[in-house]
Amino acid sequence: MRSPLEVLEPLQESAIRAGLMTRRIGTTIHLFQEVDSTNDEAAALAGRGEAEGTIVIAERQRQGRGRMGRQWQSPKGLGLYLSVILRPTIPPHCAPVFTFMGAVAGAEAIERTTGLIAALKWPNDLIVHGRKVGGMLGEMAVEGSCLLHVILGIGINVNQTETDFDEDLRQTAGSLRVEAGHPVDRTAIARSFCESLDGWYERFLCDGPLPILEHARRRCLTLGRQVTARSGDQEISGLAVELDDDGRLVIRDARGASHRLLAGDVTLTG
């Protein structure tokens, strides 16, 4: 167990690698002090033939982003900003399952490291005590009908305090440090995430997406709630009743009609 001062020190590749028990994820680690985006850096490496399982970690992102191009605040030395290269031999339309895989692995890493209970908000948010502490961003490269690679990025607010967030985010954003009441070891979070993701990826290669989706359903706080969902110009309100086997959120509106969303923004309304 490291002291509170030690867990606030900069990340070190050797410390992340020490004791890392994985088959694929993290066999190669690129650790940067600062990048525009770990997803962009990983995509560039993947385009040059970098091996599956390679991870990119940064102490700070200048242009960190979430879904739909939204900014992800990435202050230096406080969060975990990590992306991994995956090369599954699957059709491109199956790739969205990796967002759920990453979210499940992120939730498990949070729980194992801090004891906090982490839930998922469809499609990619990590929630602790009602506040967003992390999110996933999956991006892929396709050539014709062939999936070349998937870049799976995770951002976790680890040691931010409330004053580290912009004022307009303080009601909804949280960090593991705030929720746990003490500084949290980013090295342990990174290692635990890699180990959990490694296990789920191996299971995906053996058993397909259904075990991942079943686990995501159990953690998904969106299900059983009244929601308003926006996808493009479409807005749907109703009860979130199911996460189907393609990862789509099924919403039943007031007339009883079902709508299936593969992507979009969801607000919990009840």
User: Based on the domain organization, do 202 and 149 belong to the same domain?
Assistant: yes
User: Based on the domain organization, do 177 and 96 belong to the same domain?
Assistant: yes
Token pair in block for residue 139: 């991006």
**Which DSSP state fits 183?**
-
Domain that holds residue 130: 4-219
Contact at 8 Å (CB) between 100 and 126? no
User: Based on the domain organization, do 199 and 238 belong to the same domain?
Assistant: no
- Choose between 7 and 172: higher pLDDT: 172
pLDDT tens track for 217-265: 999 999 999 999 998 888 999 999 999 999 999 999 999 999 999 888 8
User: Based on the domain organization, do 125 and 236 belong to the same domain?
Assistant: no
First to last CA, the chain: 41
pLDDT tens track for 148-160: 999 999 999 999 9
pLDDT tens track for 54-80: 999 999 999 888 766 677 788 999 999
User: Based on the domain organization, do 118 and 246 belong to the same domain?
Assistant: no
User: Based on the domain organization, do 123 and 178 belong to the same domain?
Assistant: yes
Mean pLDDT of the chain: 93
User: Based on the domain organization, do 212 and 234 belong to the same domain?
Assistant: no
| C-alpha to C-alpha distance for 200 and 222, rounded to whole angstroms | 22
Tally the domains of the chain: 2
- Count the alpha carbons within 13 Å of 100 in the hemisphere toward its beta carbon: 29
User: Based on the domain organization, do 181 and 248 belong to the same domain?
Assistant: no
User: Based on the domain organization, do 121 and 37 belong to the same domain?
Assistant: yes
| C-alpha to C-alpha distance for 17 and 95, rounded to whole angstroms | 28
The residue count for the chain: 270
What's the CATH number where 246 sits? 2.30.30.100
Q: How confident is the model at residue 136 (pLDDT cuts 50, 70, 90)?
A: very high
| C-alpha to C-alpha distance for 185 and 110, rounded to whole angstroms | 10
| C-alpha to C-alpha distance for 13 and 30, rounded to whole angstroms | 8
Whether pTM > 0.85 for this model: the answer is yes
Token pair in block for residue 60: 């700070």
Angstrom CA distances, 34 to 61, 63, 71, 76, 117, stand at 6, 10, 16, 8, 30
Closest Cα partner for 30 from 11, 12, 9, 57? 57
In degrees to the nearest 10, what's the CA dihedral of 190, 196, 201, 207?
Answer: -170
What's the CATH number where 119 sits? 3.30.930.10
User: Based on the domain organization, do 200 and 230 belong to the same domain?
Assistant: no
User: Based on the domain organization, do 72 and 163 belong to the same domain?
Assistant: yes
User: Based on the domain organization, do 141 and 183 belong to the same domain?
Assistant: yes
Contact at 8 Å (CB) between 239 and 251? yes
